[in-house]
Amino acid sequence: MKTWVAIAVALAVAALALSIYTFSATRPEPEPDAGAQKPSPPRVGCTACHVKVSDQKNYTLGAEALAIENHPTQTPEGEPINEQSTFSDCMTCHATAASGRAVAAKTPMVLTAHPAHMFSEIFTEELGGTCWSCHLIDSRGNWLVVPDKVDVEETGIPKELPVPNLWVPRAGTAGGGA
Q: Write out the residues near ligand HEC by the rule CB under 6 A.
A: 27-28, 43, 46, 48-50, 61-62, 64-65, 68, 71-72, 75-76, 81, 85, 87, 89-90, 92-96, 104-110, 112-114, 116-118, 120, 122-123, 127, 129, 131, 133-135, 143, 145, 169-170
Report the alpha-carbon distance of residue 156 to residue 83 in Å, rounded.
26
- As measured in angstroms, the least distance from the Cβ of 90 to ligand HEC is 3
3-state secondary structure of 158: strand
Residue 102 pairs with which residues in a beta bridge? 96
- As measured in angstroms, the least distance from the Cβ of 156 to ligand HEC is 11
- As measured in angstroms, the least distance from the Cβ of 68 to ligand HEC is 4
Q: What are the strands of the beta sheet with 167-168, ordered from one edge?
A: 135-137, 143-145, 167-168, 173-174
Listed in sequence order, the residues at least 6 apart from 99 whose beta carbon sits closer than 8 Å to its beta carbon are none
Query: Between 9 and 76, whose beta carbon lies closer to ligand HEC?
Result: 76
Pick the closest to residue 85 from 156, 94, 122 (CA basis): 94
Query: Between 6 and 93, whose beta carbon lies closer to ligand HEC?
Result: 93
- As measured in angstroms, the least distance from the Cβ of 3 to ligand HEC is 36
Report the alpha-carbon distance of residue 3 to residue 113 in Å, rounded.
47
Residue 19 one-letter amino acid:
S
Query: Between 11 and 112, whose beta carbon lies closer to ligand HEC?
Result: 112
Query: Between 5 and 115, whose beta carbon lies closer to ligand HEC?
Result: 115
Determine what percent of the chain falls in helix, strand and coil, rounding each to the nearest 5.
35, 10, 55
Query: Between 52 and 170, whose beta carbon lies closer to ligand HEC?
Result: 170
- As measured in angstroms, the least distance from the Cβ of 30 to ligand HEC is 9
